[in-house]
Amino acid sequence: MFVLTLNRAVLKRTAVMAVCGVMLAGAIFAVDGMMTGGAAETSAQTQTVKVENAQDMTAYFTQFGLEMDPATVTVDKVQIPRDWDVHFEAFNAEIEKSGLSLARYKGKQVEKWTMQCTTLNNGEQKCLGVLLVYKQKVIGVYMLQQPSGEVTAPADAAQTAAPLEQVTDDFAANTLPQQAPDEAAMPIE
């Protein structure tokens, strides 16, 4: 038989310890939320997007400033590997730049939605926007260059897609070295 007797001092000490424990747990959660605040907000924002058709996919990529061709959409089933090698870790690092991660989906079968990006296509390379979707929620996004196979985050790809300004005749006239009119007319002896 076990008998526990509590007096006022023991109850007070137990209550103070319980309150300190709750405050410590709250402080830990607050610090963790502050440290991952930016990535968590981006992740929560992108994970709530549902993709059910080509219009949803096009709208998703326009937030990065990329134009897509909805007529080229394809949907395939792919398996996220259960065991990751160095290459897949690097692939997931590119996806994490968009605030998403595939770590929770190891071994799961997901939908791979692809669509041509008209903003980044050029004569040599074809660019595809790829969304990985699990239960109609976006879990991964990346841009795939073909035939090179280079994978980049959409935000990085959009930065490289900024159009170059055309050189105007006035600009070229002001920057190219020219001879003075008198010197051009005089023959060199």
Backbone phi, psi, residue 74, to 5°: -135, 150
pLDDT at 72 over 90: no
Residue 57 has pLDDT above 90, yes or no: no
Q: Which segments of 2-147 are extended strands (E)?
A: 74-79, 109-116, 126-134, 137-146
Read off the pLDDT of each residue in 45-60 and give the average, rounded to a whole number: 71
Residue 115: pLDDT above 70? yes
Mean pLDDT, rounded, of the chain? 74
User: Model confidence at 184, in pLDDT bands (50, 70, 90)?
Assistant: very low
| C-alpha closest to that of 102 among 75, 83, 77, 129 | 83
Say whether 83 sits in a helix, a strand or coil: coil
120 has a pLDDT exceeding 80: no
